[in-house]
Structure 1
Amino acid sequence: MNGVPKDSELDWVLVLAPFRKDADYIAAFLQEQKIEVQGAKVDDDLVEHLALSPGIIVITHEALNPQVVASVAAHLAEQPDWSEVPIIVLLERTAPVARIRIQLQTSWPGSRLLFYTRPIAPLELVNGIQSNLLVRLRQRQVRDSIERERELRLELNHRVKNILASVTSIFQMTRRGATTVEDLASDFTGRLQALSNVHTAVFQAGGEEVSLSAIIDLTVSPYNSDGVSRINVTGSDLVVSRDAGTTIALCLHELITNAIKYGALSHPDGHVELAWTVAKSAGSNFTMNWTEVGGPQVREPTRQGYGTRYVRSALGSLFGTAPEIVFAPAGFRCNVSGPAARISPESADL
């Protein structure tokens, strides 16, 4: 009967029965039902057992002295809100049940009190204990549910703050590069849509990681409608972190916007080749190439616009190396490479 309680879906029982062999008898028929039991003495040993957090306390009439009542009361006072410890009190048939009930309810307000008079059939006591072990299990399940809800609220609060910070940053950068209200509204709306696409993909994935193919497909699909592919995509799928997916999607949005205004997508016969690879032989090195074909002749701008600045800064930060941006006459190119581990949690297995 002594020892540390075993791990179990159901809780364990603390028996406080100092006289005769009551504790041994109770333990014997509970153990026959595979119920974990611990016995305690009416001294400091009780405090040590209570510190182990029993699921149910079984206490006989003889153990109800002021010291025991006070120790149990102190234990109950430390219980969290979800916890209502079942306490089964075994009374003598001649005991003043009503008076004892009132006294214990006053002393132990954080308990679930049940009273039995002796002699009691073992089956009746076992049934009562098993029923209350299930009650205790339900209490713990409620606790777990409350904890999960609390964690979800904290995570939601964190994500909303991050999203608002991203929106604020995007607006400020867009405002600095806009020359008219119409440009501000159009560019800001497009960038928000790109951000929204990423969060949609992450939500559908159900976690902090997302398919790179899904991110890119959501970003480029509006430009590949009616059976016409203006942006040809090739690359094996790769799971990337939410932050990496967000950065790549926003950079692709800037490249698409630039191609529509000045590059290949501004010409009816123009298109874009977007390809990425992960080279296993090069220490899982990730490479992504954006190449514009069939557009007007490209001239390097006299000043660097917002989109170029953002792509250079964002991809450089993500991969640890600045991308190669080339304003070649035949078509604009943007190439970036870096360790796959910087964007993908699965790269270690590649």
Structure 2
Amino acid sequence: MSSPHLLNQTNKPIPNKHQVGRFAPSPSGPLHFGSLVAALGSYLIAKSDAAKWLVRIEDIDPPREIAGASDTILRQLEAFGLHWDGDITYQSQHLERFEEILNQLKAQGLLYACHCTRKQIAEFSHSQSIKHGLYPNICANKNLAFDGTDADGKGEAVAWKLRHGLNQYSYHDAIQGHCQFDEALYREDFTVKRKDGLIAYQLAVVVDDIEQNIDHVVRGCDLLDSTPRQLRLYEVLGQTAPDYYHLPLAINQEGNKLSKQNHAPAIEAENASVLLCDALSFLGQNPDPEWVLETPTTIISYAIERFSLEKIPQKQQISYLPRSSD
């Protein structure tokens, strides 16, 4: 479950004082315990600094979205005492801005089109002994048309790739410590616009974080190796990257990440106090046993007062076994 490209971790650095954080779920289903850990962790880190905590719904992948999931997620957050600041924002409202950024990068010669299929990429990577999951920059010098048309006017779907930089995109994580990755990850040209025409996650999340003045990002360790790609985007956009906090992932008894894809059960409002205490324990915060008798709002208040970043385990994953319903 650990990041496939992570080479080295060292001690945690001292974090900065923050002003704006966020929780950014995708509406592909209701929140589960793993989602609660991410939401609670980001909330506590923001509020322990008296920072704003924003909620952004990342709804730019329609094939994965479930009708009504956005409203369900917001009701779950409220039921668990996680009250956001300001208005809810929806990523789908920012498509025009994403296209502006893409055109800006294209004009700078930083993008190119790629028509490769997943099978072609896998076969080429295997032949060149390139690490699995990394794009081997096959089309970097082909000068393919961005609309997918060839000299005969025939069209095919293309993805848009951002050319890699020359820097080292290691970083200091406030929980995981210094994170250094395989050089191949730093030299990968990654997707910023998909073949189906949808904006890629990496671009959308960075542009939105810049627009919302997010100065710290709290999320799960499954996104550890997305961070070097996002640092490259901050570089080409001329912006300062936020501080990063990658929380341990909750995994089940089979060693799989709790996720909507793995059918993790939704968190239920009637069990909010117990689940909040479980999530606090998961994050190393040692809630008092009697907190389960309190309201979610009271538990959150206690948790902010006693929050300690240093107590969050410096681990990429932790097994989670739900309490017995007996």
User: Do Structure 1 and Structure 2 share a fold, with TM-score over 0.5?
Assistant: no
Greater relative contact order (Cα 8 A, min sep 6): structure 1 or 2? 2
* TM-score after normalising by structure 2: 0.21
* TM-score after normalising by structure 1: 0.20
Is the helix fraction higher in 1 or 2? Answer: 1
